[in-house]
Amino acid sequence: MKRKLMLLAFACGPAFAAAERLPDFGHSAEILLEGKGAIYALDLPVEVYSGIARRDLGDLRVVNGASEVVPHALLRPPSSEKKAAAALPLPYFPLYGPAGRAVDELAMRVERKADGTLSALIAPGARGAAGRRLMGYVIDASAAEVALRELRFEWEAGAQGSSVNLRVQASDDLKSWRPIASGPLVVLRQGELLLERRAIELPPTRAKYFRATWRSADEELKLAGVTALPVDAAAETPRAWLRVAGIAGAKPGEFVFELPASLMVDRLRFELPNENTVAAVALALQERPGATERAIRTTVLYRMDHRGEKLLNPDLEIAPAASPRWLLRADMRAGGLGSGLPALHAGWLPHKLVFVARGDPPFRLVFGNADAAPAVLPVHSLVPGYAADKPLPALAARLGAVQRRELPHPAPAEVVRTYFEQMDAKKMWLWGSLVLAVLVIVGMAWKLTRQLPGPGESGKQRPPYARP
């Protein structure tokens, strides 16, 4: 028995020692590098989504000239990104009043200019009147179209510098004021050293007017300019678009659009076949004909030419979804879409492929094998110091033409051999050890059963088993 177990272990030895090899893939494309570096990135084109076999993109691999897999990661860009707003210069008006009088007691009125902006007229008193002092400024922000997040003040600080503790209030009618921020403005000089703080940060505030004042004991602030920073605008990330012609469905008013199953779509745009069309429609997803449907949206589609103006419904925003079949059903009570077939423009955010150029070129992207296990890594493990709010420190790369080939259908014996070759060696040794342990236990149990007395043989020991 020991000899049989040793033969079994020796027979499994080649399988344990076999190295892992790269599986076959149905699609490949050369990666063209731009510049010399270590980390590269490219956006995946629609040809990759059309040929990939796993919806999680797990069958993607990047290989070098020696057919070795190199580390790679996938990034999906955010749906929108912040766009820094430009500084906006604002007109301002000095507030003069009697010494010892509160600024809230000053009367003000507004006057609209020819360009539509408003100006504040301050009373009482003139700038040069005796006994009057500068109490603050009214800032006209009526031209701002969005909320403001910062006010920046410019003034001549003098040789020794200056400082003032500023209070900022907001109003829409110059009568009712609400406090929104406060803080020091400082310009200090000592030799060649300079310490300055010229801006007051605001919570995002939309108001026609702002009032900046200080305590009577503080030094007067003679402004030379005021600028505001609007809140950053959210700009939508550009989508990639794929046009798909519709085909008639099984029912009247039903149309089917076939898309790559791994394409995560979040924008829809429809081409209606006829002018002056208005139709209520329902959208649904389906894995295959006859399968259960999943409703995603009901809306109204229109395409009209009214007085020479083209009227088209805007792009439809939906939750990201991926499916090989997209169904459009029009309400036929009003005639549906008329004759002809519609077309669908599907918009999505392409994944960004990030990889390390280890080894010699040419580098290739291979994909199209449903049995391949995912090999993607977190991007922070490839890019040191990666942060989502910072630019990706990677060189550009682009993908060449995608080539396709038919995967061979191996014989059953080849499938078994490949399975053992690709199995992890440690796992093979573990399973082999378990099988050997089970065989040893079974042998020991069988030997003990041979030594136990049979029926009617109490107290009599059965002779050991003799090999014939």
- Beta strand 72-75 with 352-356 is antiparallel
Question: In the prediction, which pLDDT does 18 show?
Answer: 40
If one compares 385 and 451, the residue with the highest pLDDT of the two is: 385
Classify residue 108: in a domain, yes or no.
Answer: yes
CA dist 81 and 146 (Å) reads 17
Classify residue 441: in a domain, yes or no.
Answer: yes
Classify residue 467: in a domain, yes or no.
Answer: no
Q: In the predicted model, what is the mean pLDDT of residues 71-76? A: 92
**∠251-255-260 over CA atoms, to 5°?**
135
What predicted TM-score, i.e. pTM, was given to this entire model?
0.62
Name the residue range of residue 296's domain: 240-348
pLDDT tens across 196-225, in order?
889 999 999 999 999 998 876 667 788 899
- On whether both 257 and 343 belong to a single domain, the answer is yes
Q: Residues near 351 by Cβ (< 8 Å), separated by ≥ 6?
A: 43, 44, 57, 74, 75, 76
CA dist 126 and 301 (Å) reads 63
- On whether both 111 and 200 belong to a single domain, the answer is yes
Q: Report which of 27, 33, 400, 81 is spatially closest to residue 239, judged by C-alpha positions.
A: 81
Classify residue 464: in a domain, yes or no.
Answer: no
Looking at residue 107, its amino acid is A
Looking at residue 418, its amino acid is T
Classify residue 390: in a domain, yes or no.
Answer: yes
- On whether both 110 and 219 belong to a single domain, the answer is yes
Q: Is pLDDT above 60 for 9?
A: no
Asked which of 231, 256, 286 is the last residue of a domain, the reply is 231
DSSP letter for each residue of 105-161: G-EEEEEE-TTS-EEEEEESS-TT-TTEEEEEEEEE-TT--S-EEEEEEEE---SSE
pLDDT tens across 248-290, in order?
998 999 999 999 999 999 999 999 999 999 999 999 999 999 8
- On whether both 96 and 213 belong to a single domain, the answer is yes
Give the SS3 label for residue 300: strand
pLDDT tens across 425-454, in order?
667 777 788 888 888 888 888 777 777 766
pLDDT tens across 86-113, in order?
899 999 988 887 766 666 666 666 565 6
Q: Quick one: DSSP state of residue 86?
A: P
Q: How many domains does the chain have?
A: 4
Q: Residues near 449 by Cβ (< 8 Å), separated by ≥ 6?
A: none
What the block records as the tokens of 267 is: 């924008």
Question: In the prediction, which pLDDT does 7 show?
Answer: 39
Question: In the prediction, which pLDDT does 174 show?
Answer: 83
- Rounded to the nearest 5 percent, the helix, strand and coil shares of the chain are 15, 45, 45
- On whether both 112 and 184 belong to a single domain, the answer is yes
Q: Which of 14-28, 282-296, 315-329, 366-380 has the lowest mean pLDDT?
A: 14-28
- On whether both 7 and 113 belong to a single domain, the answer is no
**∠290-294-295 over CA atoms, to 5°?**
125
Asked which of 231, 265, 295 is the last residue of a domain, the reply is 231
Classify residue 460: in a domain, yes or no.
Answer: no
Classify residue 83: in a domain, yes or no.
Answer: no
Question: In the prediction, which pLDDT does 12 show?
Answer: 43
User: Residues 94-118, buried b or exposed e (16+ Cβ, 10 A)?
Assistant: ebbbeeeeebeebebeeeeeeeeeb
Question: In the prediction, which pLDDT does 39 show?
Answer: 93
Of 10-24, 133-147, 288-302, 371-385, which one has max mean pLDDT? 288-302
- On whether both 16 and 35 belong to a single domain, the answer is no
Question: In the prediction, which pLDDT does 347 show?
Answer: 95
- On whether both 174 and 92 belong to a single domain, the answer is yes
What the block records as the tokens of 120 is: 């504040």
- On whether both 102 and 221 belong to a single domain, the answer is yes
**8 A C-beta contact, residue 300 and residue 313:** yes
DSSP letter for each residue of 195-236: EEE-EEEEEEE--SEEEEEE-TTSPP--EEEEEEEEPPEEEE
Q: In the predicted model, what is the mean pLDDT of residues 238-242? A: 93
CA dist 94 and 187 (Å) reads 21
What the block records as the tokens of 363 is: 């580098």
CATH of the domain at 344: 2.60.120.260
- On whether both 254 and 171 belong to a single domain, the answer is no
Classify residue 172: in a domain, yes or no.
Answer: yes
Type and span of the H or E element at 55 = none
Asked which of 194, 209, 231 is the last residue of a domain, the reply is 231
- On whether both 131 and 204 belong to a single domain, the answer is yes
Question: In the prediction, which pLDDT does 248 show?
Answer: 92
Question: In the prediction, which pLDDT does 426 show?
Answer: 62
pLDDT tens across 117-134, in order?
555 555 544 444 555 778
Q: Which of 228-242, 272-286, 344-358 has the lowest mean pLDDT?
A: 228-242
- On whether both 210 and 298 belong to a single domain, the answer is no
